[in-house]
Amino acid sequence: MKIAISGKGGVGKTTIMALLANQFKKEGKEVLIIDADPSPHMAQTLGIKDIDKIKPIAEMTALLVERSGKVEGSPFYQINPQVDDLLKKFMIEQDGIRLMVLGAIQTAEGGCACPENTVLKRMLTKLLLTPTQVVLLDMEAGVEHLGRGTIAGVDHLLIVVIPSKSSVRTALKIKKMAVDSGIPSISFVGNLVQDKDDEDFLKKALGESPVAFFPDSTIIRKAERNGKPLTELTEEISDAPVKLVNFVQEKREG
């Protein structure tokens, strides 16, 4: 199963991705996270200690151009780059969860991120997974990635939304573009929810109920501030991760 997470900046996509990954791991799944955010920090969220050993494939400029099939002097890229060995070469594992960092252009006037996006798209469409394997894709904030068709190969898109009008506007725009892109399953996930009023606001504003509500948790906030991996939280935050995993699995099987 290939699951992507998207949403407006600051809604907590990476936090929910880490909790989702941990729940899948508890249920015996092999989990691979691909951090495709231009400002990646999934490694810190997971508590990976050897961050310096992670090789973002975006830094391998020559390799990316070669694998994405760019023709010299042409603005176009071939759509079928060979990526098999990238899955091992640029992967790090900790506590049963594997991580790849796509990386992106971090400097002003750094140029087009087309090679990275082409390779990522090929990875998602090429990966053939067994029922015990799950790929979780943490996308950049906003809607740009949908315009590039980067997540065309995913089975399910989770759109994280918090109880604010601006977050809802972005979430609805993401859903519309995702539908137009042909993504088979699309669901909203509520985050930073404090009470029933927040839940009711999201249900009404979105026109449907999110499949799970994650609380505005002081436990999570303190863990992030103190550099504690979210996967090590022993306190029961809520049943939201269990509900979310059950939902996507039932949706897949149904």
> What pLDDT does residue 107 have?
41
Which range (101-110, 115-124, 195-204, 225-234) has the least confidence? 101-110
Q: Which of 63, 67, 95, 62 is nearest to 79 (CA)?
A: 67
In the predicted structure, residue 111 carries a pLDDT above the cut 60: no
Q: What percent of the chain has pLDDT over 70?
A: 69
Residue 167 clears pLDDT 90, i.e. is over it: yes
Measured distance CA(118)–CA(96) in Å, rounded: 28
pLDDT at 189 over 90: yes
pLDDT classification of 54: cutoffs 50, 70, 90: confident
User: Quick one: average pLDDT of 4-19?
Assistant: 91
Out of 3.90.280.10, 3.30.470.20, 3.40.50.300, 1.20.5.510, select the CATH number for domain 2-253: 3.40.50.300
The pLDDT, as a whole number, for residue 106 is 46
Q: Is the pLDDT of residue 174 over 80?
A: yes
Closest CA to 17 of 44, 57, 38: 44
Instruction: Identify the sign of the CA torsion 204, 192, 27, 54.
Output: positive
What single letter denotes the amino acid at residue 116? E
Q: What is the mean pLDDT of the chain?
A: 79
State residue 29's pLDDT score.
93
Kindly state the average pLDDT of the residues 24-35. 90
- Residue 229 has what pLDDT? 82
- Decide if pLDDT at 131 tops 60: yes
Q: How many angstroms separate the CA atoms of 55 and 192, rounded?
A: 32
pLDDT of residue 159: 96
Which pTM was predicted? Answer: 0.81
